[in-house]
Structure 1
Amino acid sequence: MKILFVTPRFPYPPHRGDTSVPYHRMRLLSQRHEITLLSFYENEDELSDIDGLRSLCRRIETVRLPKWRSYSNMVLMGLLSRMPLQVLYYLSGKFRTRLNELLKDEAFDVIHVFMLRIAPYFFDIPGPKVIDLIDSMQLNFQRRVQLARLPKRLLLQEELRRVSSYERNIGQHFDQLVVVSQKDGAHIPSGRVNVIPLGVDTDIFSPEKDVPQCPVIIFSGNMFYSPNIQAVTWFVESCFPRIQRVLPTVSLLIVGNKPPKTILDLGQKAGITVTGFVASMPDALQRSSVSVTPMRSGSGMQFKILEAMACGLPVVTTTLGLGDIKARPGEEIFVKDSPEEFADAVILLLSTPELVQKIGEKARRFVVQNHSWESAAASVERVYEDVLENKRGRSFETVPRAASPLLIPRVIK
């Protein structure tokens, strides 16, 4: 098959969820199919590793998305349109033109679009189309609103209102939809939602035999993401002091890209280190004793949990953090919601090396058996086959040139 992948962020290197998913889809599907990539990027640094994708793609097309223009779109058009702000952020006449040129030059069997925010470019394009939503934005914003304070809460409520209407109707414009969990799929009223869980590269994320001399707790994730900020702040304020009283030598590593000042300030507290970006997340996990994922908001499936488990680390998470991961609480993962129970689970693990090893081995086995990227790629291929079977004989056409780029994301009523 000839497949056009379209992404809102350049998908290499795969350091975050919205780049890891398209990268690993392409990595495996390119072994059997011909891949063309069309992607936004915000600065030239993002393209410094473009060679990492050339072996996977027959053709790569990129369009720059200047931040000043994106913010202008949100402010100016946000007052006139009911579209989600994240959709307005990605408005680009150049992107529309490049897409039309690609569709004129190439005859694709399937277009595979990633995430809600660039979906409107494809509303008027016929032919087989799949959208990889990854998670439900409606569910994500519902949870974020519950924890937010004024005035941020008002902004999140407005985006929730916009996203809810938009997401409910997205199935009208695509042949098949993909999400990573049943809970996310339940918020998208379409009979064509496919649940394909996240994968982990278990060759890279693997156990390390060296055990830390002192107990080390790790929280990993992109630290500019609001649910991660909320989670680690809650852990530091509500759980870590209790752990320190019992285990004075314990340390906490907060590992992840672009930590804001509120997170950097946590590094001033005793026993806490904020690393920012690290070149190798597996190395950071392998130097740790226990992983914590105390999510209070967010949606989808937590990469950080699966990556830690693949490294043989015991994980303590919340019910919300566990989501649709089918690991057995108390056997392959610990699930605790109150600050006291969460802290006590971490203390128990750090005080019992044989339990750490036992849970870690079971966690690793669970991920290897249930979360391979190979299995996910096979599921994506089945989605393609279903789309093609139902649309046999139909081809892609470009959107009429008369269409204004600013009208791409029309309001869905």
Structure 2
Amino acid sequence: MNILFVSAVLPYPLYSGGQIRIYNLLKSLSSRHAITLYSFIRDREEYKYLTSFAFCKRVETVLRGHAWQPRYIISSIVGMYPLLLASYNNIEMKSRLAEELKTHSYDLIHLEPSYVWPSLPHTDIPTIITEHNIEHTIYEGYVRRFPIAPFRPFLYIDVAKLGWWERHIWRKAMHIIAVSDNDLMYIQQHATHTDVTVVPNGVDIDEFDFRPKKYIPMDAPVFLFVGSFTWMQNRDAVVWLVTSIWPTLRKRYPGATLRIVGRSMPSTLRKLISNHQVMLLEHVESIEEELHNADLLLAPIRIGGGTSFKILEAMASGLPVVTTTLGAAGLNVTHGKEVLIGNTEEELVAAVDMLLASSKKRAEIARNARKTIEQEYAWDNIAHTLDRVWEGTAKRMSL
């Protein structure tokens, strides 16, 4: 089939979970379909990555810039769109897509995620949308903890607008792709006449070798946090980790090291961690080596939605994971089997203690986690699920 794929971000380099997901699915599905990719970019520097998409039929880009621009903020205040959608209400993209649809024949349009909807011109071609998260619920969690209290009422208005638009777009689409069962159930409640299918996030199991550690130095364990700081979930998690959890761990394990790997850390967060003897690594040669050099992955996520690629990658690599219920949400894992889960500082520290004290438990967790990854989260299997949705949607329209 001829597929027009419209992405909010250029899915390369593989910095964020969204980029990892889109890139791997496009790469796998391009062997079965002719895919034309239209993508927003934030910076002209991204042009150099276009050669990474040789498997696509064609790649077109539109410069959007960053979301926190005065024109987008003003538009979200006086216009109908919330800030997130206002930043994608792009005249150039809409015009170029209209011309593309006029001059080329497509069986299907795939948007990822829904907030690029304002740039899609009116069309009768069936449209599928992938949601990486339920965005307004994440935004709401962030606003609830926003440090400047007088701003919260204004931000809650934007949250409400975003929630309304998400539900509206779901009802307009032919099919919605969710990444977890929890997200699927939420979407089904608010878009009762739209088909919804779970196509989970995945891992390149050939890239992430299974190398569990047999020995951990109890006097100097290495803890790891990984995540892009463009996402509010990760910023919030690091604040909790550094200010509440890490001080307790340092008292228990004085020689311990906490390594935080992630791009785009804001200056306020950088200043915070500099006061807590934490190692920040914004650019690493190999995330695989970071995973193999660590002893435990800490993922204290308090704002939920979607699924975490870094947890999946750690599970694939044999690195035991300590996370929260929200961090494990959407993953087919059980506390004590593939990961350890805690929702308070005390529970998370107790989980760390248990894993550091028992090599047998660490080995059991690592084996179970890798088995689950191989059975449920390999990209080829996941791409096959999305392919069935594409084929089924196009077939329905042809009847």
Same fold (TM over 0.5): yes
Alignment of 1:98-109 (within 5 A): 98-109=96-107
Distance in 2, Cα, partners of 1:127 & 1:21: 24
Report the 3-state secondary structure (helix = DSSP H, G, I; strand = E; otherwise coil) of the residue aligned with 1:79: helix
Render the CA deviation track for 1:188-236: whole Å, top value 9, x for unaligned.
2224121111111111122336767641100000023221111121122
Where does residue 25 of structure 2 map in the other structure? 25
TM (norm. structure 1) is: 0.89
Render the CA deviation track for 1:7-45: whole Å, top value 9, x for unaligned.
111111122122122111101001111111111112122
Report the 3-state secondary structure (helix = DSSP H, G, I; strand = E; otherwise coil) of the residue aligned with 2:39: strand
Render the CA deviation track for 1:264-318: whole Å, top value 9, x for unaligned.
2344345520111323211211110000110111311111211111111110111
Where does residue 396 of structure 1 map in the other structure? none
For 1:263, the aligned partner's letter is L
Report the 3-state secondary structure (helix = DSSP H, G, I; strand = E; otherwise coil) of the residue aligned with 2:78: coil
Structure 2 residue runs of 5 or longer lacking an equivalent are none
1:134 aligns with 2:137: no
1:375 aligns with 2:381: yes
Report the 3-state secondary structure (helix = DSSP H, G, I; strand = E; otherwise coil) of the residue aligned with 1:199: coil
The higher-RCO structure (CA 8 Å, 6+ apart) is 1
**CA contact under 8 A between 1:200 and 1:371: conserved in structure 2?**
yes
The match for 2:345 among 322, 331, 339 is 339
Render the CA deviation track for 1:224-263: whole Å, top value 9, x for unaligned.
3221111121122222222222211111011001111233
Shift of 1:79: 2.8
**CA contact under 8 A between 1:212 and 1:287: conserved in structure 2?**
no
Where does residue 283 of structure 1 map in the other structure? 289
Distance in 2, Cα, partners of 1:379 & 1:147: 37
1:79 aligns with 2:77: yes
Report the 3-state secondary structure (helix = DSSP H, G, I; strand = E; otherwise coil) of the residue aligned with 1:112: strand
**CA contact under 8 A between 1:147 and 1:297: conserved in structure 2?**
no
The match for 1:256 among 262, 265, 270 is 262
Where does residue 297 of structure 1 map in the other structure? 303
Distance in 1, Cα, partners of 2:366 & 2:160: 41
Distance in 2, Cα, partners of 1:163 & 1:14: 27
Distance in 1, Cα, partners of 2:163 & 2:387: 29
**CA contact under 8 A between 2:180 and 2:198: conserved in structure 1?**
yes
**CA contact under 8 A between 2:30 and 2:56: conserved in structure 1?**
yes
Render the CA deviation track for 1:47-68: whole Å, top value 9, x for unaligned.
22211112x1111111112348
Distance in 2, Cα, partners of 1:92 & 1:203: 38
Residues 1:118 and 1:224: Cα distance change in structure 2 (over 3 Å): closer
**CA contact under 8 A between 2:223 and 2:296: conserved in structure 1?**
yes
1:314 aligns with 2:320: yes
Distance in 2, Cα, partners of 1:85 & 1:153: 15
Distance in 2, Cα, partners of 1:212 & 1:270: 23
Shift of 1:367: 1.1
Residues 1:261 and 1:119: Cα distance change in structure 2 (over 3 Å): same
Distance in 1, Cα, partners of 2:314 & 2:32: 30
Residues 1:239 and 1:390: Cα distance change in structure 2 (over 3 Å): same
**CA contact under 8 A between 2:212 and 2:319: conserved in structure 1?**
no
Where does residue 192 of structure 1 map in the other structure? 195
Where does residue 385 of structure 1 map in the other structure? 391
**CA contact under 8 A between 1:144 and 1:298: conserved in structure 2?**
no
Where does residue 35 of structure 1 map in the other structure? 35
Shift of 1:73: 3.0
Where does residue 207 of structure 2 map in the other structure? 204
Where does residue 407 of structure 1 map in the other structure? none
Where does residue 50 of structure 2 map in the other structure? 50
Render the CA deviation track for 1:114-172: whole Å, top value 9, x for unaligned.
11221133362111211112221132223223333324533431221101111111133
Distance in 1, Cα, partners of 2:291 & 2:283: 13
Residues 1:300 and 1:151: Cα distance change in structure 2 (over 3 Å): farther
Residues 1:167 and 1:203: Cα distance change in structure 2 (over 3 Å): same
Alpha-carbon RMSD across the aligned residues, in angstroms, is 2.0
Alignment of 1:176-255 (within 5 A): 176-188=175-187, 189-190=190-191, 191-208=194-211, 214-255=220-261
Report the 3-state secondary structure (helix = DSSP H, G, I; strand = E; otherwise coil) of the residue aligned with 1:187: helix
Aligned pairs, how many? 391
Distance in 2, Cα, partners of 1:144 & 1:114: 22
Structure 1 residue runs of 5 or longer lacking an equivalent are 394-413
Residues 1:373 and 1:73: Cα distance change in structure 2 (over 3 Å): same
TM (norm. structure 2) is: 0.92
Distance in 1, Cα, partners of 2:305 & 2:339: 19
Residues 1:209 and 1:141: Cα distance change in structure 2 (over 3 Å): closer
Shift of 1:332: 1.0
Report the 3-state secondary structure (helix = DSSP H, G, I; strand = E; otherwise coil) of the residue aligned with 2:28: helix
